[in-house]
Structure 1
Amino acid sequence: MMSSVKRFLIGRPLKSDQLGDQKLNKTKALAILSSDALSSVAYGPEQILLVLITLSAAAFWYSIPIAAGVLVLLVALILSYRQIIFAYPQGGGAYVVSKENLGIYPGLIAGGSLLVDYILTVAVSVSAGTDAITSAFPSLHAYNVPIAIIFVLLITTLNLRGVTESASLLAYPVYLFVLALFVLIAVGIYNILTGQVSAELHAPLGTPVAGISLFLLLKAFSSGSSALTGVEAISNAIPNFKEPSPNNAAKTLLAMGSLLALLFSGIVFLAYYYGIVPRPEVTVVSDIAEQIFGRNFMYYFIQGTTALILILAANTGYSAFPLLAVNLAKDKFIPRMFTIRGDRLGYSNGILILGLLSIVLIVVFKGRTEHLIPLYAVGVFIPFTLSQSGMIVRWVRKKPEGWVMKLIINATGALISLIVTMMFFLTKFTQVWPVLVFIPLILVLFHRIHKHYEDVADQLRITSCTKALPIEGNIIIVPVAGITHVVENSLNYAKSLSAYQIIAVHVPFEREDEQVFEQKWTKWQPDIRLVSLYSPYRSIIHPLTKFIDTVQRKASESNYQVTVIVPQFIPKKGWHNILHNQSSLLLRAHLLYRRNVIITTVPYHLKK
């Protein structure tokens, strides 16, 4: 039944040679990998205004030069990540660049930050989209958390079906959002050019504002830079592109940067010219749309597509997280299960873990994750800074043709990203301080996992291991609960192994039962030694393991191997298992960590 449900949810398994069919073309990749960056247009401009309003509405004209600064950073990031795509076509983005050029720990800081950031991407995006829906339907507000969880489960299931299927479905809302905002910006600018918007709604550029300072402007700039989250996703997901993947990824990156620049600058300009003042209950985009269109179809179309893209921005995390996890797993810093492709050729373990951890965040923060946005943003700008610093080292070290211009591009991006990161810590320390806790913890976790894999490899390597001693014979211990076909089946198997000695072990709880069982055993299996371990405290595991340890110690002196054969009957139907105690399962679990003891299960399948 479970296999039928699985097939219904994620589809039929795909052959490994169908991997090429799961690659993305530029159109679908732009929608899937740009949704996070493009969705930030819905809140990035608002973050600038929220800082400037602390002075007065007259300070809103500063949003124009601040937006210009954000665009400069965007250009530097786009050009930088374009260079990263061609320099590291295998993907990995900031993690691979930082590790190769700055060292293992900067690489792990970048990789760990991005892993956490992609989890935050899903939780924040889905929660924000849920808020947009429940704002339109207030009666649903009490169900924010269940609704958000349902969205995460749907997106997770869709991604488990494969990259192309999720891209085919999710591309439409993304492009509808882009269309809606372009219409909004075009109509808004048309109204301005035709004199339908009063110039009194905004303060002229250059208006003196009391209390303005460089610190406040940098704070507004760093807040507005949250619109650039998600820019790095394409460089992490190069393997998802059709061949030639680096060229297609680079073109998609440029297209995303162009769309983001146009939409971001357009919304900032309209917000300034229309004199939009940010309010807690209404978003800036909603306010602009209402002033331009009123409460008609276009207004609700814009609001609906905005809510959709906020939810679908989570899909960027599902595209980039598994591929970043693959790179970390190949380097033995996270579990190797992240390198395994699922039935639909996606890295399903990464997808499932991302969905699970996102749900945990949503539940813990009760769907109100908006105060995690600064943490979410700083988690991106740390890798931004490290990756571009790594590229600086690469150009200085290799000095390829045209390296000076490339160096200038990366140096500009690294400097601005560092400033933004520092401003987050200076101005929003109370919100971003967890970064200073979780990054060291992640590094410790990475180190412990890597050490474990190295230790395992060292012990399994034949050339470095002590030569195993030959086994002189086999002492087989068979725990027996009664005289049944299950026990008979296990004893027959034990006899077939040509063992040095077979010992049946019975653990009675009453002295009378012990004597009765010994008499029956002598008649049934007179050639097999029976050991009775009376257990007055009704424990089976303790006396049995104590006996096995004793036999093992004596056997090791003569190079004999101890094997425990566990008889187990298998019910015809799975639910029948709950009607029986699971002593064999408990015994195997307990003996699994015993050194130099082999555990073998002999199943006996029931027919009805």
Structure 2
Amino acid sequence: MKLKRLLIGRPMKSHELAEEKLSKLKALAVLSSDALSSVAYGTEQILLVLVTVGAAALWYSLPISIAVLGLLTILILSYRQTIYAYPMGGGAYIVAKDNLGVPFGLVAGGSLLVDYILTVAVSSSAGTDAITSAFPSLHGHRVFISLFMIIVITLLNLRGITESASILMYPVYLFVLAVFLLIIGGAVQYMAGNIHATPPAIGTVVSGMSLFLLLKAFSSGCSALTGVEAVSNAIPNFMAPAEKNAAKTLVIMGGILGAMFIGISLLAYGFGIAPKPNETVVSQIASATFGRGIIYYFIQAVTALILFLAANTAFAAFPLLAFMLASDRFMPNMFMVRGDRLGFSNGIIVLGVLSGLLIIASKGETESLIPLYAVGVFIPFTLSQAGMMKRWIVKKPSGWIVPFLINTVGMLTTLTITLIFLITKFSQVWMIFLFLPAVIFIFKKINQHYHALADELRLDIDHEKPSKKGSVIVIPVGGITQVVRNTISYAQSLSDNIIAVYVGFDDESLHRMEKRWDEWNPGVRLIVLRSHYRSIVKPLTKFIDTVEWKTAETDHVTIMIPYFVTRHWWQNLLHNQTSLFLRAYLFAKENVKIAMVPYYLKK
């Protein structure tokens, strides 16, 4: 408990929830860290595709980056409308469910949950790439570094959203400062003629370049747009007026993201940068601009930090989305429970565990995760835009044509990109066709269970009253001890119909037990059973079945199991846990009640 308080902090009272709201400054740090951090690898993903046909093709990164910037503008305008239409949050899940139906909502919700898990995995592995670019000797410890940072960010979020936001503000804004410092410094160096690279001329015809490759490069660059939807998912976390603050935060985030992304792309082209296996594009630009000095290591440090902390966007959005799915009975109820620090702790912990397992499975390879990561977010993008289109058509509010056209362009664009991803990167994203249907199947089975449970537990208070029955108490005993005496004493306070049952392995032990019981005479009848196969559970359960069959109509059958509690946890290892095994075995019996009666040892 002391360790928990040290790591997470003191419990917070329920009324303090009103104080756990974010200002625009803090919300930008918490909810945009994923989107802003993607500039560290967005341009690089474009170059990785283009360089496969030669360095001369790298000039295509400029028109592709401009196209990505145009898509970003469309998404910002579209999600700004979503914020005002659905101020309670939920993003694509709520929009799709409300307008297109529950199945589409589950596809959007399931995709986003998968995407958030991938966000944490990609962010931590990309942050590790930044560290190993500066310190190549650490390359072999990639998985350990990524897992360590996931643990840190999980604990940080368990402390509460406001506290995590206060801590995250500094690295996020330091990263923005570092990137603009890099862009300005690089531009100055380029204009001063200090960069002697010879980038391929714009318009150069490249043999082997195809529309397929261009589309593949464009879809790869769209990975820089992941995380844009997070603000619309987490509107309830904003200070009032929540929707206005969320909309402003979204626009500010879009402006900063667009400027940084296009700046990095221009520098990468101007410096003639080509991707390297052990050094990121940002590292190469920083090295060429400032040399390997203090400023370079500052840029690499904050880049690594923001990439790690980009996972915080998922930690802010995943628990809230899981809460909404759980409220609709598509996820377990545990995701609706707030923890000591008023956050949805179960969602935070589950996200940390699943992303850690993904890091281990992928061996920390960022590149192998990014395509799946991008598909997971562009499916909800598409469904969200389609849902908003239907909303405008059905409701037809004043001036609906313009927002309808914006959402239409957004839907067609994101749908096209989704199809491009599926076609050009099928070998990397085929798992989505297995994983997403499995998630939706689980959602539906959970929902069916909750509805069936509600139907079965529903009570007609006018006609259904408790039935009055007697009580038969069966006490399994292993000897005559203080533990048994304690249990019999408690049972006698509840019923006069008590049976003690002893299971022996030979005639001698049975006779000895009967004799000692008669001498003790506790006022309770003893039944002795012979076990030919040295099993206590089977003879006992057969006897309980007999009692149950004979008394089910007139009496409740209660199995009262004596057990002792040791003073120290390690002492449990010195004793057979027969009582626990017996409880586990009897737990599935429908008409039997089980009571565990503890006796606390003092030595």
Which TM bucket (shorter chain)? over 0.9
Q: Pick from 212, 227, 244: which aligns with 1:230?
A: 227
Q: 1:604 is paired with a residue of what secondary structure? A: strand
Instruction: Name the residue aligned to 2:401.
Output: 404
Q: What is the Cα deviation at residue 247 of structure 1?
A: 1.3
Q: How big is the shift at 1:369? A: 4.0
Letter of the 1:532 counterpart: V
How far residue 50 of structure 1 moved from its aligned partner, in angstroms, is 2.1
SS at match of 1:346: coil
1:266-345 maps to which residues of 2 (within 5 A)?
A: 266-345=263-342
CA distance in 2, matches of 1:257, 1:465: 59
Taking the aligned partners of 1:139 and 1:279, their CA distance within structure 2 comes to 16
CA contact (8 A) 1:339 1:347 kept: yes
Q: Which residue of 2 aligns with 1:594?
A: 589
Counterparts of 2:387 and 2:176, CA distance in 1: 33
Q: Match of 1:58?
A: 56
Deviation at 1:512, TM superposition (A): 0.2
Judge conservation of contact 1:471–1:561 (CA < 8 Å) in 2.
Answer: no
Match of 2:238 among 236, 241, 249: 241
In 1, distance between residues paired with 2:507 and 2:421?
74
Amino acid at match of 1:17: H
Counting only pairs closer than 5 Å after superposition, residues 364-513 of structure 1 correspond to structure 2 as 364-463=361-460, 467=464, 470-499=467-496, 501-513=497-509
Residue identity opposite 2:141 in structure 1: Y
Residue among 356, 360, 365 paired with 1:363: 360
Match of 1:350 in 2: 347
What is the DSSP-based 3-state SS (H/G/I as helix, E as strand, rest coil) of the residue aligned with 1:54? helix
State which of 33, 36, 47 in structure 2 corresponds to 1:35. 33
Deviations 1:442-493 (A, max 9, x none): 1111111111111111111013999577243111111111112221121122
Deviations 1:275-295 (A, max 9, x none): 222222222212222222222
- What is the letter of the counterpart of residue 600 of structure 1? A
Asked if the contact 2:132–2:278 (Cα under 8 Å) also holds between the matched residues in 1, the reply is no
Structure 1 residues 466, 534: CA separation in 2 closer, same or farther (over 3 Å shift)?
A: farther
* TM-score (ref. length: structure 2): 0.96
Following the alignment from structure 2 to structure 1, what is the Cα–Cα distance between the partners of residues 60 and 461?
66
For residue 117 of structure 1, what is the aligned residue in structure 2? 115
Q: Deviations over 1:37-69 (max 9, x none)?
A: 111101111122222223333333322221121
Q: Is 1:93 aligned with 2:91?
A: yes
Which of 581, 599, 607 lines up with 2:602 in the alignment? Answer: 607
Deviation at 1:534, TM superposition (A): 1.0
SS in 2 for 1:201: coil
Deviations 1:406-464 (A, max 9, x none): 11111111111111111111111000000000011111111111111111111110139
> Do the aligned partners of 1:145 and 1:366 also contact (CA within 8 Å) in 2?
yes
Q: CA deviation at 1:575?
A: 2.9
Q: Classify the secondary structure of the residue corresponding to 2:386.
A: helix
Corresponding letter in the other structure for 1:111: G
Residue 534 (structure 2) pairs with residue 534 (structure 1): no
Cα deviation 1:88-109 (Å, max 9, x = unaligned): 1111111111111111111111
Preserved CA contact (<8 Å) 2:127 2:308? yes
Taking the aligned partners of 2:361 and 2:278, their CA distance within structure 1 comes to 24
- Equivalent residue of 1:600, what SS? strand
1:5 matched to which residue of 2?
3
In the other structure, the counterpart of 2:165 is: 167
Q: 1: CA distance between counterparts of 2:561 and 2:522?
A: 20
Q: Is the 8 A contact 1:238 1:246 kept in 2?
A: yes
Structure 1 pair 290–141 and aligned structure 2 pair: CA distance change class (3 A):
closer
User: Which secondary structure does the structure 2 equivalent of 1:533 belong to?
Assistant: strand
Q: Which moved more, 1:47-56 or 1:95-104?
A: 47-56
SS in 2 for 1:563: strand
State the one-letter code of the partner of 1:567.
Answer: P
Of residues 141, 155, 158, the one that matches 2:156 is 158
Residue 79 of structure 2 is aligned to residue 81 of structure 1: yes
SS in 2 for 1:74: helix
Cα separation, partners in 2 of 1:469 and 1:158, compared to 1, 3 Å: closer
C-alpha offsets along residues 278-325 of structure 1, whole Å, 9 cap, x if unaligned? 222222212222222222222222112111111111111111111111
Which amino acid in 1 is paired with 2:528?
Answer: S
Measure the CA separation in 2 of the matches of 1:543 and 1:207: 86
Shift of the alpha carbon at 1:211? 4.0
Q: Is the 8 A contact 1:392 1:410 kept in 2?
A: yes
Identity of aligned residues (%): 59
Report if the CA contact (8 A) 1:362-1:369 is conserved.
no
**Bigger Cα displacement from structure 2, 245-254 vs 257-266:** 245-254
Matched residue SS, 1:290: helix
SS at 1:282 equivalent: coil
8 Å CA contact retained: 2:78, 2:385: yes
Decide whether aligned partners of structure 1 residues 585 and 134 sit closer, same or farther in structure 2, where only a CA change above 3 A counts. same
Shift of 1:347: 0.6
State the superposition RMSD in angstroms: 1.8
Residue 244 of structure 2 aligns to which amino acid in structure 1?
N
1:521 aligned residue (508, 511, 517): 517
Cα distance change of structure 1 residues 596 and 468 upon mapping to structure 2, 3 Å threshold:
farther
TM-fit CA distance, 1:194? 4.5
CA contact (8 A) 2:134 2:297 kept: no
Letter in 2 for 1:547: F
Cα distance between partner residues in 2 of 1:465 and 1:100: 36
Shift of residue 243, structure 1, vs aligned partner? 1.6
Query: For each residue in 1:100-126, what CA deviation from the matched residue of structure 2 results, as whole angstroms up to 9, or x when unmatched?
Result: 111111111111111111111111211
Partner amino acid for 1:42? A
Give the SS at the match of 2:504: coil
Question: In 2 relative to 1, CA 140–30 (structure 1 residues): closer, same or farther, beyond 3 Å?
Answer: same
Q: Distance in 2 between matches of 1:363 and 1:30?
A: 30
Residue identity in the other structure for 1:345: L
Partners of 1:310 and 1:526 lie apart in 2 by: 70
Which of residues 207, 217, 236 is equivalent to 1:220?
Answer: 217
Displacement of 1:532? 0.7
**Distance (whole Å) between structure 1 residues aligned to residue 531 and residue 445 of structure 2:** 41
Matches of 1:218 and 1:131 in 2, distance apart? 26
Q: Deviations over 1:220-266 (max 9, x none)?
A: 21111110011111111112111221111111111110000000011
Against the structure 1 CA distance between its residues 62 and 146, is the aligned structure 2 distance closer, same or farther, given a 3 Å change threshold? closer
Counterpart of 1:17 (choices 15, 18, 31) is: 15
Amino acid at match of 1:156: T
466-475 or 171-180, larger mean C-alpha shift: 466-475
Q: CA deviation at 1:368?
A: 2.4
1:128 corresponds to: 126
Displacement of 1:175:
1.0
Q: Which moved more, 1:416-425 or 1:456-465?
A: 456-465
Partner of 2:138: 140
Partners of 1:363 and 1:226 in 2: CA distance: 22
Instruction: Provide the secondary structure at the position in 1 that maps to 2:365.
Output: coil
SS in 2 for 1:506: strand
Secondary structure of 2:43's counterpart equals helix
Quote the offset at 1:195 in angstroms: 4.9
Are the aligned partners of 2:99 and 2:390 in contact in 1 as well (CA < 8 Å)?
yes
Equivalent residue letter for 1:581: N
Q: 2:548 maps to which residue?
A: 552
Moved more, 327-336 or 53-62: 53-62
Aligned partners of 1:459 and 1:465 also within 8 Å: no
Unaligned runs of 5+ in 2: none
Q: Distance in 2 between matches of 1:138 and 1:44?
A: 22
